[in-house]
Amino acid sequence: MSDSIPAVGILVLNYHQPGVTLACVRRLLEREGENARILWLENDAEVTREEVIRFLEASGLPWVEIDGLGTQLPPAGTLGFVAIPENRGYAGGNNVGARLCQRAGATWVWILNNDTLLESGSSEDLRLAAQARPDIGVWGTVVRNPEGQVYSGGRVKLKDFAIEWVRTSEQLETDPMSFVSGCSLFFHLDVGAQVGFLPEEFFLYYEDPAFSAEIRRAGYSASMVPSVKVFHEEAYTTGNRSDLVEFYNRRNRWFFVKKYFPDHLQSQVRRRWYRYQNLIFRGKFRRVWIERMAYRDFLAGRTGKADHCFSRK
């Protein structure tokens, strides 16, 4: 591959966590070869750009600023910094990078959460697997969390549309309710473009099951590459079980059900009263308020970034 046409673009989206993101991209620069280009995508750069640039200048890493609307990627071994003025969420921010990689002539893209560290393997392993299996539209990797739990994706449960882990390539390939985790997501850019890339209406949460659902609708399957392993800190930016997490999780679950499983919508509407009672019984009154606010936004058709302010703690 030449400097101008890399095989893979690697996307790492930052939102007010430059120290965490720096550790992620530093590890990638150490392990990735000349066929990959690494992009630091800076959401909310209208606020953070100058601070993050000072941070990068002090880091000692080779880096260059890249126009997110352009057609050029950084040279091999150099980090590309892409400023995205507004906060476009997980899907919107990563789509800026995916579309840039496509315009620049890359073939595949690998999306990694900023709170991940590559432990083994590389994008080359993913590329080789994808070349050998063109029937697979989206690939995952092994993901390990701080508790030592290992997974590569999840599956949506029809009972309540909550999510449980998936750990094997077999389940990803055979279970239509399964999906590749958004924290480590690899796909061919032409396939991504075919389905419109990541669904931006979700903004945050449920965009990865929605993306896998769209991939399957387009006639492809999903799988994972076990030789590629990443450590995932989990919810570093959003906060584990924070108000922010709960709101987007609950609101987007409604939109997911409506879009992909409309026959189940009324049963889920009935189940919400049981959920309210359960939360009240446990004294989770703020959670009831968040649930009701999420449902109101769903009824009003409010997708994307919400106007509400939430704690990340």
DSSP string, 239-298: -TT-HHHHHHHHHHHHHHHHHH-GGGHHHHHHHHHHHHHHHHHTT-HHHHHHHHHHHHHH
Is it the case that residue 34 has pLDDT exceeding 50? yes
* CA dist., res. 254 & res. 262, Å (int): 10
- pLDDT class for 238, splitting at 50, 70, 90? very low
Average the pLDDT over 257-264 and give the result: 96
- pLDDT class for 1, splitting at 50, 70, 90? very low
Going by C-alpha positions, the residue among 237, 187, 229, 225 that lies closest to residue 208 is 187
Tell me, what's the pLDDT at 4?
Answer: 58
pTM of the predicted structure, to 2 decimals:
0.92
Cβ atoms of 188 and 107 closer than 8 Å: yes
- pLDDT class for 311, splitting at 50, 70, 90? low
With H, G, I as helix, E, B as strand and everything else as coil, classify residue 14: strand
* CA dist., res. 102 & res. 160, Å (int): 37
- Give CA separation, 37 vs 4, 182, 255, in Å: 10, 19, 34
> 280-287, long-range: CB within 8 Å, 24+ apart, which pairs?
286/243, 287/246
Fold classified for 8-232: Spore Coat Polysaccharide Biosynthesis Protein SpsA; Chain A (3.90.550)
Q: Whole-number mean pLDDT of the chain?
A: 92
Q: How far is CA 295 from the centre of its chain?
A: 23
* CA dist., res. 64 & res. 46, Å (int): 18
* CA dist., res. 181 & res. 153, Å (int): 4
Tell me, what's the pLDDT at 272?
Answer: 83
Tell me, what's the pLDDT at 309?
Answer: 64
Q: How far is CA 235 from the centre of its chain?
A: 12
Average the pLDDT over 101-127 and give the result: 97
* CA dist., res. 91 & res. 41, Å (int): 12
Is it the case that residue 313 has pLDDT exceeding 70? no
Average the pLDDT over 6-26 and give the result: 96
